[in-house]
Every structure is written in C-alpha cells, then in structure tokens.
Amino acid sequence: MTRDQAVGPLSRSIRVDRMARAQGDFIVTATPEECAALAADFGIPGIRDLVGRFRVGGTLENLSVTGSVEAVVTQICTVSLDEFEAPVHETVDVAFTDGEIPTGHDAEEIDVPDPIVNGRVDFGLLTAEFLAMSLDPYPRKPGVTFAEPEPDADGAPLAGLRALQGGKD
C-alpha cells in the first residue's frame, strides 16, 4: 500500500519494525474532521473525543494488541427518533501475524489472527473497527421506553385495517 492510496477516514499505519522503539504503547486521537468522516461512514449524526489506547506485545512476527477505544457518539433513538449522546467503551484484544494464516477451519473453531499487511499495523483502522463494533444497532435514549400499542375496541390489534379491507383477512 502506498501513502497515496485511500485507506479510510482514520489511518495511523505504523511499521512493525519501529514498534519496539515506541515501547509498545500507541495512542490514536481522532481529529474533528476524522470523527465527522467516520460518523458519515457509520450513518450516525456524530462522533467526538475518539481515542484508541493500545499496548503491543509479542514478537515482530506475532503481535498481541490490547487496549481500549473510547468516544462519545450521537445516535438517533429508535423509539423517539430523538438524537442523543452516549459514551462508548470497547475493549481491544487482537492478535496479528505476518505468517501464514490457517485456512480450511471453521471460523468459530479457531481464533484467526489478523494479518500484518506490508509490514504495518494500522491503529487508526483498528480504532475505527472497534468503535463500529461498540455501536448499538438499536440505540435507545436513556429514559425512553417503548409502549405497546393499545388493541382496537374489538381487542384485535389490526381490526382497524381489516375494517378498511371490508373484513377480509
């Protein structure tokens, strides 16, 4: 991958052979522009204060990355359709390898490590992936509850529709 290729709205690609000099700690702090681009990609109104904190261990051929991803996201409540902010926190525990990744196994049977691509690991992409995994697909604003609709006078929930159809089922 060259530096001119687009890799997404948040990229912090680091060469594996340079990681030892950084003493194994990496922090990704997204800019407001990167947060806005990720929010657009994720289809949510907003993201702010996005930070990924990572610790790297293992060897240069088999890395272990642990840490966390935190942010404040603005989502739309699936009940009230109101926008609301919520903090997110996702724990990171990922293995990377530059060796051969096993094939022919059921993905549920083994934990397949992520590949080290061209001698690099992209901590920005890792931050974005774990943020995406932390998003609630059916967000609900705190305090909002879903009330079951009241049945029609005859007790059937769809009686009004049946009446419009002339009593047909």
pLDDT at 22: 56
Query: How far apart are the C-alpha atoms of 71 and 122, rounded to whole Å?
Result: 19
Helix, strand or coil, per DSSP, at residue 124: helix
What's the pLDDT at 129? 93
- Going residue by residue through the chain, which has 169 residues, state the pLDDT in tens, using 9 for 90 and above: 334 345 678 888 777 777 755 557 888 999 999 999 999 999 999 999 999 999 888 777 778 889 999 999 999 998 889 999 999 999 999 888 876 655 555 555 556 777 777 778 889 999 999 999 999 898 888 887 877 766 655 556 666 666 677 655 5
The pLDDT assigned to 4 comes to: 38
pLDDT at 125: 92
Tell me how far apart the alpha carbons of residues 140 and 160 are, in angstroms, rounded to a whole number: 29
Res 20: pLDDT = 58
How far is Cα 20 from Cα 16, in angstroms, rounded to an integer? 8
Beta strand spans in 13-116 (E): 13-15, 25-29, 46-58, 62-76, 83-97, 114-115
pLDDT of residue 3: 40
Write the CA distances from 80 to 22, 95, 137, integer angstroms: 47, 40, 15
3-state secondary structure of 68: strand
